Amino acid sequence: MSVVLQAVGGAAVAMVLCMAAGSAQAADLASEAPAVAVEAPAAESALQFHSPFGPCEMNCSATIYVGRYISTPMSDIFAKFKTAPWNWKTKDSTLVSGSFSREVLTYRDLWAFETELGVGKRFGELHAAEAWGALYWRWKAFPWNNYLRTTVAVSTGLNWASKIDGIERDKASHTSHVLHYLSPEITFGLPDNQHWDVVFRFHHRSGGKLGVFNHNSGGAQYQTVGLRYTW
């Protein structure tokens, strides 16, 4: 019996030694093997550029809008806050316009830069046609967007008129077909429909007494309302 126990014990010891030797050899091989680096996926940048010639991915918009001529100075409305909307003075002229725009630079869901091309036609006391190109900066983040999507935007660009209408001529001692395009707007839409928005735009062109615009100090302006489709 003792011989049998010794044999079994010897076999067990031999098996343990073999397992230890195998583990040591495996550890040596593992240490000699080249380490494989696992790269973490790159975090998407918060600032995104969108090619103006790429496919539209809910960053292209078409807008149509119509409005009445406003003779109250823009500075009294937006800078001095002297005149409430119901007290704005108007003239017998209507503007009908359309534009195409698309986002070219976005920062998360907070704001975006947009390029825009537009055309319009005046009716009534003014008869000129208009065309413009502009860059808009738009702010999108409002705390009530889950109930009513809201954005505000303001532009800088160039506006061309086919003729100098009488009202524009009377407002300034110098005239110019090409003037600065400064047109703030606000939009509203439903949270469950990202395609459609109602647009309120103050369509304004003026020279700001700058030499590049022949020292013109005034131009035509309209308070408009329109509809925008985004795709």
Full DSSP string of the chain? -HHHHHHHHHHHHHHHHHHHHHHHHHHHHHHHSPPPP-PPPPPPPSEEE--TTS--SS-EEEEEEEEEEE-S-HIIIIIS--S-GGG--EEEEEEEEEEEEEEEEEETTTEEEEEEEEEEEEEET---EEEEEEEEEEE---TTTTTSEEEEEEEEEEEEESS--HHHHHH-SS--SEEEE---EEEEE-TT-SSEEEEEEEEEEE-TTBGGGTTB----EEEEEEEEEE-
Is the pLDDT score of 117 beyond 50?
yes
Q: Which residue has the higher pLDDT, 171 or 3?
A: 171
- Please tell me the least confidently modeled range out of 97-106, 108-117, 126-135, 167-176: 167-176
Q: What is the CA radius of gyration of the chain?
A: 34
Say yes or no to pLDDT of 12 above 80.
Answer: no
The predicted pLDDT at position 16 comes to 33
Q: Name the most confidently modeled range: 74-78, 106-110, 165-169, 207-211.
A: 106-110
Query: What residues contact residue 230 under an 8 Å CB cut-off, 6+ apart?
Result: 58, 59, 60, 61, 194, 195, 196, 197
pTM (predicted TM-score): 0.78
Mean pLDDT of all residues belonging to the chain: 84
pLDDT of residue 177: 95
**13-62 pLDDT per residue, tens:** 343 333 334 443 433 434 454 444 555 545 568 999 999 999 999 999 99
Token pair 């809910």: residue? 58
Share of the chain above pLDDT 70, in %: 81
Mean pLDDT computed over 199-222:
89
pLDDT over 90 percentage in the chain: 63
pLDDT at 86: 87
- Is pLDDT of 9 > 80? no
pLDDT at 42: 52
What is the structure's pLDDT at 168?
86
DSSP string computed for 68-127: EEE-S-HIIIIIS--S-GGG--EEEEEEEEEEEEEEEEEETTTEEEEEEEEEEEEEET--
**Residues with Cβ within 8 Å of residue 100, at least 6 apart in sequence:** 60, 61, 62, 63, 116, 117, 118
Average pLDDT value for residue range 1-19: 36
**Model pLDDT for residues 74-116, shown as the tens digit of each residue:** 888 888 777 888 889 999 999 999 999 999 999 999 999 999 9
The two three-digit tokens of residue 210, written as one number: 């700058």
29 burial class (0-12, 13-18, 19+ CB within 10 angstroms)? Answer: exposed
